């Protein structure tokens, strides 16, 4: 028969405490203050964007302030002063527009506000039409194999006609990965750009989009691109050399990188002075252009 040990003995007690000391300790916690910022009025509620880069602070008096991850104030906007709760949604890098959801806990009123942040776009060296110093800059990230991209040309023509001295249109390459003929078309357009005929070649590519898109292989697009170059009386030897030049590909790749940085995921992606055009129609485009012109007029007064 087994004997039951007396657990109250000094030896057993000492061994018990030694075992406790030898067991793993709970993990500690370190913390670092990453930002400090001050609001002008008392905060009512706070929300943080999904990526953690923006902090939205709703304060008394109907003010919404937006701070970056370093605590620098980015924007301030007036909202319904009765709102006292806030939430945010959206993820701009993923192409999901940010929204602010406000609530009044007393009246149960809820309001959803779509926000359009201004982004900086590198347009140095990119092809453009219109005055170089135009107050409104329209930047289009486009894909020559994208059927929707071929349709916005008429929209651009209309807005240039309406604002001939006020707007310039900049083209940025953004060939989508599943459009296999889009990259060689982009390189061909950049080669034409080196001979000063980007926009003429741009128009011909979209006019012949179905032809080169239907080619069985990328190699089968070669005669089409050369034919278009000849129709514009380009130096074909230079054209062929330039479109295969690593520098030309670097320009295209940099455009893609620039687009991804500001959340471009599909085409056409159109920005008016850094603000994304959500609805691709003439009325919305006119509205945004007028807003930009009004801002400039107000700033000059």
Token code pair at residue 39: 């609001």
- In this model, does residue 277 exceed pLDDT 50? yes
pLDDT in tens, 122-160: 999 999 999 999 999 999 999 999 999 999 999 999 999
- The single-letter DSSP state of residue 104 is E
CATH of domain 128-296: 3.40.30.10
Residue 126, number of CB atoms within 10 A of its CB:
18
- In this model, does residue 121 exceed pLDDT 70? yes
Token code pair at residue 98: 């940010």
Mean pLDDT, residues 237-247: 98
Q: What pLDDT, on the 0 to 100 scale, is given for residue 2?
A: 43
Query: Phi and psi of 59, rounded to 5°?
Result: -120, 165
Mean pLDDT, residues 56-82: 88
- In this model, does residue 13 exceed pLDDT 80? no
**Is 75:91 a contact under the CB 8 Å cutoff?**
no
Q: What pLDDT, on the 0 to 100 scale, is given for residue 109?
A: 95
Give the global pTM: 0.74
Q: What pLDDT, on the 0 to 100 scale, is given for residue 11?
A: 57
Q: Which CATH number fits domain 43-114: 2.60.40, 1.10.287, 2.70.98, 2.40.10?
A: 2.40.10
> By percentage, how much of the chain surpasses pLDDT 90?
69
Q: What pLDDT, on the 0 to 100 scale, is given for residue 12?
A: 58
- The single-letter DSSP state of residue 207 is H
More confident residue, 278 or 217: 217
173 has which bridge partners? 142
76: helix, coil or strand? strand
Mean pLDDT, residues 246-273: 95
**Dihedral of alpha carbons 283, 285, 290, 291, sign:** positive
Classify burial at 161, counting beta carbons within 10 Å of its beta carbon; exposed 0-12, middle 13-18, buried 19 or more. exposed
**Is 121:270 a contact under the CB 8 Å cutoff?**
no
Q: Which of 204, 156, 141, 212 is nearest to 182 (CA)?
A: 212
Q: Do 43-114 and 128-296 come out as alike in CATH topology?
A: no
Q: What pLDDT, on the 0 to 100 scale, is given for residue 100?
A: 92
pLDDT in tens, 90-117: 776 666 778 899 999 999 999 998 887 7
Mean pLDDT, residues 265-273: 95
- In this model, does residue 35 exceed pLDDT 90? no
Instruction: Tell me what the pLDDT averaged over the chain comes to.
Output: 89
**Is 248:241 a contact under the CB 8 Å cutoff?**
no
CA 234: distance to chain centroid?
Answer: 35
Q: What pLDDT, on the 0 to 100 scale, is given for residue 1?
A: 44
Q: What pLDDT, on the 0 to 100 scale, is given for residue 7?
A: 46
More confident residue, 79 or 73: 79
Residue extents of the structural domains in the chain: 43-114, 128-296
- In this model, does residue 165 exceed pLDDT 90? yes
Q: What pLDDT, on the 0 to 100 scale, is given for residue 9?
A: 58
């Amino acid at each position: 028969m087994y004997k039951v040990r007396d657990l109250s003995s000094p030896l057993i007690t000492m061994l018990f405490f030694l075992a406790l000391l030898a067991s793993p300790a709970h993990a500690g916690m370190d913390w670092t203050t990453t930002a400090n910022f001050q609001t002008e009025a008392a905060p009512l509620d706070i929300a943080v964007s999904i990526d953690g880069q923006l902090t939205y602070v709703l304060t008394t008096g109907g003010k919404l302030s937006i701070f970056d991850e370093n605590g620098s104030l980015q924007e301030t906007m007036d909202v319904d002063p009765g709102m006292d709760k806030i939430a945010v949604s959206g993820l701009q890098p993923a192409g999901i527009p940010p929204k602010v959801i406000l609530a009044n806990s007393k009246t149960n009123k809820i309001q959803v506000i779509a926000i359009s942040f201004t982004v900086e776009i590198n347009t140095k060296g990119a092809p453009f039409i219109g005055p170089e110093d135009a107050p409104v800059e329209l930047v289009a990230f486009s894909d020559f194999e994208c059927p929707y991209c071929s349709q916005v040309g008429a929209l651009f023509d209309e807005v240039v006609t309406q604002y001939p001295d006020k707007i310039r249109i900049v083209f940025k390459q953004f060939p989508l990965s599943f459009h296999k003929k889009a990259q060689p078309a982009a390189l061909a357009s950049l080669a034409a750009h080196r001979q000063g005929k980007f926009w003429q070649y741009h128009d011909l590519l979209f006019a012949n989009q179905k032809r080169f898109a239907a080619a069985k292989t990328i190699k089968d697009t070669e005669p089409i691109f050369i034919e278009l170059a000849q129709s514009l009386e380009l130096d074909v030897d230079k054209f062929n050399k330039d479109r295969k030049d690593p520098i030309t590909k670097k320009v295209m790749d940099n455009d893609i990188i620039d687009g991804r940085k500001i959340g471009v995921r599909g085409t056409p992606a159109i920005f008016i002075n850094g603000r994304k055009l959500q609805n691709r129609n003439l009325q919305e485009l006119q509205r945004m252009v007028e807003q930009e012109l009004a801002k400039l007029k107000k700033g000059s007064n």
